[in-house]
């Protein structure tokens, strides 16, 4: 929406429009001859009012032929008045997939209330487990997911107008610090769920995969704990337009009792206020500005603690390698680099193509 961006992309937009017009003319000719199944004029009416994407499950199981991942993904697309055209294209795509897929596809249809779900799976696919393609046609959009049970549950919750994520304590505690209402984009995640998946995967890989016996899962857990990564309960971010400018807001929930110095050094302590005197250096025509706080010494000390937590033998090797590197470079990472850096950083962009940064 920004005028500077529109001006910068004007020439490219003109060229793309000319190329698009040429492709549309060709598609119309093909449709008239029966070589293109969809009327290009109807494609022009396609719209998308919004989209939600979520990773709902990450799990690794022990299977007969090795580790079997189970990844839950849900995507909801709101097409508004063009939903019928989109759904026609989706049905055409599923029919094509059933006929042209490199392996045999099993197709099953079911309903939740008046909503139809088409499930397509590849029974012969190795380690696919319960995953497949599940597509539900809604009144104004589509719901797509990898796990059928989750797709059914989402539809049931939609029909009952029941909030799930929006009702969770972690989400509420994050969203209340962000400009959620009217946001163009919203992101939310729980880092601990990703960490649990990583540790679970390491455990199973060590048990089932040859060559992974030397993986020290205990050391990985100690390193995570020493860095305070499990204090990161949730993260959120929103993007909204304010007076024609895109404003990004982010918030991290990391309670003080569990928060380690390294995390506080990266995210900034709750009582630290950003020094905004740097704004006098920002050009008036800057189109993007960002700033934050960082405590280099706290980050360094956190890395040292993580190295020590990895185990006596591994930490000795890492410290010896670091000392050799510092000797070769002729300076100390702690005393000459981290101690010399300030605690505020800022950056800005000028018309996309020019970037400058000050620390």
pLDDT at 1 (0 to 100): 63
Q: What is the largest CA-CA distance in the chain?
A: 75
pLDDT tens figures, 60-106:
877 776 777 889 999 999 999 888 888 888 888 888 888 887 778 88
pLDDT at 358 (0 to 100): 39
pLDDT at 355 (0 to 100): 41
pLDDT tens figures, 256-297:
777 888 888 888 665 667 788 888 888 888 878 888 888 899
Which residues touch 101 (CB under 8 Å, ≥6 apart)? 122
CB 200 within 8 A of CB 60: yes
pLDDT at 176 (0 to 100): 92
**For residues 346 and 355, what is the distance between their CA atoms, to the nearest angstrom?**
12
Which residues touch 131 (CB under 8 Å, ≥6 apart)? 70, 71, 121, 146, 147
Q: What is the pTM of this model?
A: 0.76
- From the CA atom positions of the chain, what is the Rg in Å? 26
Count how many Cα atoms sit within 13 Å of the Cα of residue 135 in the half-sphere of its side chain. 20
Tell me which residues of the chain have a pLDDT lower than 50: 353-359
pLDDT at 128 (0 to 100): 66
pLDDT at 126 (0 to 100): 63
- Kindly state the tokens that stand for 23: 């492709």
């Amino acid at each position: 929406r920004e005028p500077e961006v529109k001006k910068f992309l004007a020439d490219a937009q003109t060229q793309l429009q000319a190329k698009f017009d040429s492709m549309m003319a060709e598609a119309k000719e093909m449709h008239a001859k029966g070589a293109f199944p969809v009327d290009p004029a109807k494609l022009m009416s396609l719209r998308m009012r919004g989209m939600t994407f979520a990773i709902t499950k990450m799990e690794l199981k022990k299977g007969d032929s090795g580790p079997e991942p189970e990844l839950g993904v849900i995507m909801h697309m709101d097409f508004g008045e063009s939903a019928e055209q989109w759904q026609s294209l989706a049905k055409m795509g599923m029919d094509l997939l059933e006929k042209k897929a490199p392996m045999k596809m099993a197709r099953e249809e079911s309903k939740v209330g008046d909503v139809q779900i088409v499930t397509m799976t590849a029974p012969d696919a190795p380690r696919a487990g319960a995953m497949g393609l599940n597509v539900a046609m809604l009144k104004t959009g589509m719901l797509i997911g990898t796990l059928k049970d989750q797709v059914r549950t989402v539809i049931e919750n939609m029909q009952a107008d029941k909030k799930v994520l929006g009702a969770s304590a972690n989400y509420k505690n994050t969203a209340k610090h962000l400009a959620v209402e009217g946001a163009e984009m919203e992101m939310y995640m729980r880092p601990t769920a990703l960490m649990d998946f990583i540790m679970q995967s390491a455990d199973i890989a060590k048990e089932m995969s040859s060559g992974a016996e030397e993986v020290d899962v205990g050391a990985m857990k100690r390193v995570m704990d020493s860095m305070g990564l499990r204090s990161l309960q949730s993260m959120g971010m929103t993007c909204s337009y304010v007076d024609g400018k895109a404003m990004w807001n982010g918030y991290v929930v990391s309670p003080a009792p569990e928060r380690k110095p390294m995390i506080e050094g990266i995210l900034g302590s709750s009582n630290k206020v950003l020094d905004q005197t740097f704004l006098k250096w920002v050009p008036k025509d800057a189109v993007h500005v960002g700033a934050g706080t960082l405590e280099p010494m706290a980050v360094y000390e956190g890395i040292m603690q993580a190295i020590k937590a990895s185990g006596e033998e591994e930490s000795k090797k890492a410290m010896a390698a670091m000392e050799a590197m510092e000797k070769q470079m002729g300076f100390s990472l702690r005393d000459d680099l981290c101690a010399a850096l300030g605690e505020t950083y800022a950056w800005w962009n000028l018309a996309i193509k020019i970037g400058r940064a000050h620390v």
